[in-house]
Structure 1
Amino acid sequence: MNKTFWKQFAIALGLFLLGYLTFNGKLFAQTLEKPKVSIAVGGKNLFYYLPLTIAEQLGYFKDEGLQVEISDFAGGAKALQALVGGSADVVSGAYEHTINMQAKGQIITAFVLQGRAPQIVLGVSNKTMPNYKGIGDLKGKKIGVTAPGSSTNMMANFVLAKGGLKPTDVSFIGVGTSAGALSAMRSGQIDAMANLDPVVTMLQQKNEIRVVADTRTLKDTNDIFGGPMPAATLYASEAFLKKNPNTAQALANAMVRALKWLQKAGPSDIVKVVPESYLLGDRALYLEAFMKVREAISPDGVFPAEGPATALKALQAFEPDLAGKQIDLSRTFTNDLVKKANAKYK
């Protein structure tokens, strides 16, 4: 037998093994470039990030060969800082950050949509502002947000702008996303608050706030922003996605699987999966809050075509620096990975 035969035999054997390994889900070509991934999130207990928690708790990241470490911060702006500073590979955070960062010369790309409505509520304290009449009354007041610069801050800015106020007309105070936020409102430290569920529903139930703007439903979101508004995403630097395509795909697969699980899950299923601390001591209220935001959760992780333009328009309403900047929205998000994930998990 000559060398040509053995060469062809080796090639054929290699192709056979490649096919076998592909069939068994262990394709070497699909080896994860970075099996250990650190994800930063600002307020992991919120329904806003529920798909991330589901993917983690049900082992979907592990099923994709990933070791994911999730670091929880007081708000989305802090999570973004972790990414920029290099201590996080990926952020579970608001889509708007991708636009703001591009305006500053850094390309950040969102690759999974977790929420198709922001779920953020702006509420006024019935304790310190019982005679509230309109947005103008908030001038000079203290408004609580999860963290300054976070999506809650952006939403509040947008609502203020629609009411004729500038961000500098009020004082923003970071109050976090759980017990600290409740305490700040109940003690009168703040006059209004932009926050999310389950915190908002807890305050509503005891008539402690009056809701001024609500983006927990698709209709209300369209009414406020004039179109679909992308909310929670998974985002990373464009460089990370290019360098680690298989890792990014694995992350997208796990998240899309979690989104599909959430479409079928009942309230009791959710309670069994999330950590006890997320319930803030009131299981029934947690479930009530979940039903209010359920439709805001993306069914498939896909960004709506008009969504990025809606977000840019909203940001331009209160950020003069953005008005003159050329933003390439096509680099702020991609649907490529979630499309493949949806083909895998139907």
Structure 2
Amino acid sequence: MSRLTPRALAAAIASTLVLSLAATSSARAEGTLRIAQQFGVVYLLLNVAQDQQLIEKEGKKHGVDVKVEWKQLSGGAAVNDALLSGAVDIAGAGVGPLLTIWDRTAGRQNVKGVASLGSFPYYLVSTNPKVKTIADLTEKDRIGLPAVTVSVQARILQYAAAKQWGDKEFARLDKFTQTLPHPDAAAAVIAGGTEINGHFGNPPYQDQELAGNPNAHIILNSYDVLGGPSSATVLYATEKFRAENPKTYRAFTGALAEAAKYASANPEGAADAYIRVSKSKVDRDLLLKIFKNPEVRFSVEPQNTLGLAQFLHRVGAIKKKPASWRDYFFDDPVITKGG
């Protein structure tokens, strides 16, 4: 048996050290979870999971200590950039941004949906008394929404325009929209006197607007456009993260399903969790009214998303044509059905 020279021995030790560090790095990867969320009670399931440390509890069931980092962003474009840059592991945004990134990462990062965050009606609110429907919008109107052209609100508005004037006119109302975080848009609508006289938002902002400005009224309901209750806000991730972190991923989806059960059975507790986590000064009674709305559904299973997806393909916004919601969602034991 030949003996190693000092140089060969040093190289062997260095190689062993590198492999050891790589193994340590890999071990650290499983158990780290960075989640990007935005504004509004549509992220309630994440708020409940954070408040009750459900992800950490589920992680222990799967034999992993999960460290969760929560990041607040605004707009699907910013969320998608964060996901693709590796700054976050789980992205929270609308179905529109999910479909965009699913289409553009096919064959590369292969981003797909992880779960729904429930179904909420989204209202396009206007303070212009002359505007009763989207057909009445003019150059005098400015609509705040999270991201021009790509947010789920922007996509639903395009879908509504296509239904009103035909597919070739789907972008007809884009020129009236402006990128603005929900809190800022809501403040402008409630205060009045600014160029922002409309907001395509989500709860609780849309509800605060309707309660806070006597001129505020609904000119479009997302459910009317999408054909019924629909999952507008979802969570998604890269194929790589899911494959390399199976225990963390399962802990996350399990925790999310638990949060959905809790919110459905205990709206009072869910309202308190939202207020604690978001540090919001929103009226608790208003929250309870939203949560108890029969049109609101807390579920991790996507609902009624395919129509919007196929519309986006039809007008060329995405290249791939989905035949089913399963094309753009990962398979997971907690999601047994969808749409």
**Hey, what does 1:121 align to over in structure 2?**
123
Tell me whether 1:187 sits opposite 2:183 in the alignment: no
Which residues of structure 1 form unaligned runs of 5+? Answer: 1-30, 216-220, 341-346
> Which residue, 205, 209, 212 being the options, matches 2:216?
209
RMSD across aligned C-alpha pairs, in angstroms?
Answer: 2.6
* Residue 112 of structure 1: aligned partner: 115
Aligned to 1:333: 329
1:211, distance to aligned residue in structure 2 (A) = 0.4
Aligned to 1:176: 181
Residue 136 (str. 1) matches residue 135 (str. 2): yes
What do the CA deviations read for 1:238-292 (whole angstroms, capped 9, x no partner)?
222122222211110110010011111033x223322355543433333323333
Query: Using a 3 Å threshold, how does the CA distance of structure 1 residues 84 and 139 change in structure 2: closer, same or farther?
Result: farther
What is the CA distance between 1:42 and its match in structure 2? Answer: 2.0
Q: C-alpha distance in 2, partners of 1:282/1:61?
A: 28
Task: Give the secondary structure class of the aligned counterpart of 1:274.
Answer: helix
- Residue equivalent to 1:64: 58
Q: 2:38 aligns with which of 42, 47, 52?
A: 42
**CA distance in structure 1 between the aligned counterparts of 2:281 and 2:195, rounded to whole angstroms:** 21
Cα deviation 1:107-144 (Å, max 9, x = unaligned): 211122221x343111112xxx2122432221433211
Q: Distance in 1 between matches of 2:138 and 2:241?
A: 42
Amino acid at match of 2:41: F
Alpha-carbon separation, structure 2, partners of 1:160 and 1:333: 27
How far the C-alpha of 1:150 sits from its partner, in A, is 1.7
Contact 1:112–1:335 under 8 Å retained in 2: no
Evaluate the alpha carbon distance shift between residue 122 and residue 41 of structure 1 in structure 2; reply closer, same or farther with a 3 A threshold.
same
Aligned to 1:21: none
The letter of the residue matching 1:173 is Q
1:337 deviates by 3.5
| Structure 2 residue identity aligned to 1:120 | Y
Report the Cα distance in structure 1 between the residues aligned to 2:77 and 2:120, rounded to whole angstroms: 15
**Number of the residue aligned with 1:241:** 242
Partner secondary structure for residue 93 of structure 1: strand
Q: Which residue of 1 aligns with 2:312?
A: 315
Compared CA separation, residues 308 and 243, structure 1 to 2 (3 A): farther
Identical pairs, percent: 22
Does the C-alpha gap of structure 1 residues 313 and 228 become closer, same or farther in structure 2, counting only changes over 3 Å?
farther
Residues 144 and 192 of structure 1 are in contact (CA less than 8 Å); yes or no, is this contact kept in structure 2? yes
SS in 1 for 2:330: coil
| CA deviation vs aligned residue, 1:192-245 (integer Å, no higher than 9, x gap) | 210011111111123332101224xxxxx2x42136633222210122212222
Task: Tell me, yes or no, if the aligned pair for 1:157 and 1:166 is still in contact at 8 Å.
Answer: yes
SS, match of residue 50 in structure 2 = helix
Query: Structure 2 CA distance, aligned partners of 1:73 and 1:245?
Result: 26
Matches of 2:281 and 2:311, distance apart in 1: 32
Aligned residue pairs, count: 290
Amino acid at match of 1:309: L
Pairing 1:161–2:162 present: yes
Cα drift, residue 86 of structure 1: 1.4
Aligned to 1:289: 290
Q: Distance in 1 between matches of 2:285 and 2:331?
A: 36
One-letter amino acid matched to 2:30: K
The normalised TM-score by structure 2 is 0.76
My pick for the range that moved more, 237-246 or 254-263, is 237-246
Cα distance in structure 1, aligned partners of 2:210 and 2:112: 35
- Tell me, which stretches of 5 or more residues in structure 2 are unaligned? 1-26, 60-65
Q: Is the 8 A contact 1:42 1:73 kept in 2?
A: yes
Task: Provide the C-alpha distance between the structure 2 equivalents of 1:302 and 1:79, rounded to a whole number of angstroms.
Answer: 21
**Residue number in structure 2 paired with 1:81:** 81
Q: Distance in 2 between matches of 1:325 and 1:242?
A: 23
What is the rounded CA distance, in whole Å, between the counterparts of 2:111 and 2:55 in structure 1?
Answer: 22
SS in 2 for 1:334: coil
Is the Cα contact below 8 Å between 2:125 and 2:220 reproduced in 1? yes
Verify the 8 A CA contact 1:155 1:194 in the aligned structure 2.
Answer: no
**Distance in 2 separating the partners of 1:321 and 1:211:** 27
Distance 2:55 2:305 in 1: 27
Structure 1 stretch displaced more, 277-286 or 137-146: 277-286
Shift of 1:191: 2.8
Whether contact under 8 Å (1:142, 1:173) holds in the other structure is yes
- Structure 1, 68-77 or 194-203: larger mean CA deviation: 68-77
Please tell me whether the aligned partners of residues 122 and 193 of structure 1 are also in contact (alpha carbons under 8 angstroms): yes
SS in 1 for 2:334: helix
